[in-house]
Amino acid sequence: MKKVNYIALIAAGLAAISVFLPWVEASSSIDAGIFGSHNYSTGAFSGIQFSEGILGLLAALAGGIMAFKNIRWAFIAGIFNFLNGLGYMLGWFQSGGSYSNSYSSVSSSIDPLFGLYIFLIASVVFVIFTLKDFKKVKISEENEIAFCPNCGAKVEKEVKFCQECGNEIV
């Protein structure tokens, strides 16, 4: 029987759901000297409104499928999503800045919100719980026994497929 990594599946699902939650909020301020200053906020934007958010959703879904099928390289989807979320957190994908002269100044900023934090945490949890599936087959030379990389069951050295989970022994 195949073991399913439920924690990794939950983390992938949480990352996918968080794309629909508020990721960033844009705001700006203008100081026009004698005309006063004004602050503006556009409100929150969800991750699905950005191309990087769509990529994050696709990577979370792909990672969930790979975790369900016990594919050892599933953790790469989590690393991709972590770097994607970290890019938003550190401002790699954001625009913002300031301009000033002797009469006025203009500044804008984009601030992360809770959906982005959930996305980052879920991505880290996914990486942690899928990295354990990345172990290689360990062969004991003296008694010619191998261990399945997916479920850890003992198998004979010459066997091509695990009798417990059915996955190929490499």
Which pLDDT tens digit goes with each residue over 60-75? 999 999 999 888 889 9
Residue 1 lies in a domain: no
Do 109 and 28 share a structural domain? yes
pTM of the model: 0.68
Strand partners, 155: 146
Do 100 and 37 share a structural domain? yes
- Look at the chain and report how many structural domains it folds into: 2
Do 47 and 12 share a structural domain? yes
Average of per-residue pLDDT across 21-40: 77
Q: Distances in Å between the alpha carbon of 50 and those of 85, 86, 88, 129, 155?
A: 12, 15, 11, 27, 47
The whole-angstrom separation of Cα 53 and Cα 75 is: 18
Sequence letter at residue 23: W
Q: Pick the closest to residue 88 from 112, 115, 122 (CA basis).
A: 112
Q: Which domain holds residue 155?
A: 135-170
Do 46 and 20 share a structural domain? yes
Q: Pick the closest to residue 112 from 56, 20, 169, 47 (CA basis).
A: 47
What is the predicted pLDDT for the residue at 25?
A: 84
Do 107 and 46 share a structural domain? yes
pLDDT tops 60 at residue 84: yes
